[in-house]
Amino acid sequence: MKKRGKRKKKTKGSSWKWLLMVCCLLALISIALVNHFLFRNATHYGIKMPTGYHTHGIDISQYQGTIDWDALCSPQDNDVPISFVYMRATMDMRNDKKFKVNWQEAKAHGLKRGAYLFFHPNKDGVRQAELFIKRVGNLDGCLPPVVDIEKNYRTDAKLLKKRLQDCLNTLHNYYGIRPVVYTYTTFYRDFLGTAFDQYPLWIAHYEREDKPDYISREWDIWQHSERGRIAGTNEFVDFNVLNCHNSIMPCEVCTN
């Protein structure tokens, strides 16, 4: 009887060990699956992609050199296809050297395109907008125009806001659509405040997993990295995601 009792106890203990091991294994698998499908931060184009976004785009300028558009527009990552591209057209009173060819090539390759103006607060806002309009021309079927402001160039805060407003008004009156303001989080907070909250916002803030912080207002585009790698150029490329819940983009650009 004693021997039988011992065997029974040993068998019961072994069963609990096996059950515990199975439960632990299932828990680990569940955690891995949740992490993979809900919180994954996998590497694409050489960078970590923020989670929870489905519409990705890049922005370029003459700094990317001569781009091989066939290579750039070829399928490179099925999980993260490129849906749109913004390109610099002008900076203060100068033209981007590669804009014309980039603008034509993006259209020829069927990529949704937009143009931006790199704004200098120490220059007249109306004149900068007029140069952009002359350089870019018609934007029918394209993305909204963007005014990129990143530096104050020691310009008085009141004058900076006036010149930026003059530039935005000129573009708005010509194109019939509110331009997008591009800047980074701390510049928006420290120099723009709430004065331009009525405009769509393209915000730059790097190395964040879910969303940019340091800013409370809604944003439309988030530039999350400046060090992406993509076929067609040997230079780093800025990568962006679209906020489809607060979207300025045509519906066909925003993918879910």
Each domain of the chain, given as residue ranges in start order, spans 1-39, 43-246
Q: Are 111 and 143 a contacting pair, CB within 8 Å?
A: no
**How large is the C-alpha radius of gyration of the chain?**
25
Condensed to tens digits (0 to 9), the pLDDT of residues 12-39 reads: 566 777 777 777 677 656 544 444 444 3
- Given a cut of 60, is residue 217 above it in pLDDT? yes
Q: Which of residues 134 and 31 earns the better pLDDT score?
A: 134
Computed from CA positions of residues 100, 106, 109, 110, in that sequence, does the dihedral angle turn out positive or negative?
negative
Q: Over the stretch 40-71, which tens digit does the pLDDT of each residue have?
A: 456 899 999 998 888 999 999 999 999 999 99
Please state the rounded mean pLDDT for residues 92-106: 97
DSSP string spanning 124-171? -HHHHHHHHHHHH---TTSPPPEEE----TT--HHHHHHHHHHHHHHH
Active site positions, annotated: 59, 150
Evaluate the CA torsion angle 12, 15, 21, 24 in order and state its sign: negative
In this predicted structure, the answer to whether residue 92 has a pLDDT above a threshold of 70 is: yes
Residue carrying structure tokens 């510049």: 187
Three-state DSSP state, 182: strand
Rounded CA separation 118/121 (Å): 10
* 249 confidence band (pLDDT: 50, 70, 90): low
CB-CB contact of 222 with 241 (8 Å): yes
Mean pLDDT of 241-251: 72
Using alpha carbons, select from 151, 148, 88 the residue that is nearest to residue 115.
88
Closest CA to 117 of 133, 97, 138: 133
Average pLDDT of span 155-177: 97
Other beta carbons less than 10 A from residue 11's beta carbon = 9
CATH number for 43-246: choose from 3.40.50.720, 3.40.190.10, 3.20.20.80, 3.40.50.150: 3.20.20.80
| pLDDT at residue 13 in the model | 60
pLDDT tens digits, residue range 218-231? 999 999 999 999 99
pLDDT per position as a tens digit, 191-201: 998 999 999 99
Measure the CA–CA gap between 44 and 232, rounded to whole angstroms: 16
Q: Work out the pLDDT band at 1, boundaries 50, 70, 90.
A: very low
